[in-house]
Structure 1
């Protein structure tokens, strides 16, 4: 989500899909004018490096007409994780109306390795500030991300408090606040 937000705020790109891979990670697929995709790819690489996350970034210029058959995955559900492994952006008037009505919110993410740590982190976050839990995503390898929503100050305070609670209970993988998330991030959120 953090990398996608940086990509969309850098270039005029649109997310096609986010697909979980076999490692604790996600393959983000975006389209747009070549220069914008290249700028977005550079932003993705830079954001991944700043977060100390390994990444593979590639730009395919002028893909062959049959290429989408290979890179656009069919909807898929993993019963082990009890969630979709291919996320397709939600579009349409209903989603746009909800987003317009809620301008100015922030999204916070707390990712841990271990359930106990993430449960304690979110309980602490909810007790610290007025935020709402949007989702809990299992990424494999014991990695769990919880996504929260609220105003920027509340989400910042909640993420900071949750981050501190993880110590001694599990491993903090990442914690981040996205103020005014991009359309692609909004389109992949489980609920608003």
Structure 2
């Protein structure tokens, strides 16, 4: 079954932390990337089955926007089945750090 990828970009660290926490609690997904985009914009990417990623992104958007210390969700995106060449170039593949937490 194809593994989707979902990405949320937030303004500020508290919002991305709240989004990441909500994503992994709401659905069977694995965080595969977290990082700084630019000018206090943060990214978190998760992988899992398409329905799970959709549910996780919805929960992450709500949590990121409702974070009490400021910060908001700037944008989000879901790719249902990224091709291998995209996975090999972009940091959305499972790594040694994320592999132990991989949900089948």
TM range (shorter): 0.7 to 0.9
- What is the CA-CA distance between 1:190 and the residue it aligns to? 5.2
In the other structure, the counterpart of 1:189 is 91
**Residue correspondence of structure 1 range 19-98 to structure 2 within 5 A:** none
> Which of 49, 62, 72 does residue 171 from structure 1 map onto?
72
CA–CA distance in structure 2, aligned partners of residues 168 and 150 of structure 1: 24
Is residue 2:78 matched to residue 1:180?
no
TM-score (norm. length: structure 1): 0.45
Moved over 4 A (4+): none
Structure with greater Cα Rg: 1
TM-score (norm. length: structure 2): 0.80
Q: Give structure 1 stretches of 5+ with no counterpart.
A: 1-102
Q: Give structure 2 stretches of 5+ with no counterpart.
A: 95-104
In the other structure, the counterpart of 1:38 is none
Structure 1 pair 121–135 and aligned structure 2 pair: CA distance change class (3 A): same
In the other structure, the counterpart of 2:99 is none
Structure 1 pair 149–171 and aligned structure 2 pair: CA distance change class (3 A): same
Q: CA RMSD in A?
A: 1.4
> Which of 153, 157, 163 does residue 55 from structure 2 map onto?
157
Is residue 2:14 matched to residue 1:112?
no
Q: Is this contact kept in 1: 2:5–2:92, CA < 8 A? A: no
CA–CA distance in structure 1, aligned partners of residues 10 and 18 of structure 2: 11
Structure 1 pair 178–164 and aligned structure 2 pair: CA distance change class (3 A): same
CA–CA distance in structure 1, aligned partners of residues 21 and 29 of structure 2: 11
Pairs aligned (count): 90
- What is the CA-CA distance between 1:185 and the residue it aligns to? 2.2
In the other structure, the counterpart of 1:144 is 42
In the other structure, the counterpart of 2:101 is none
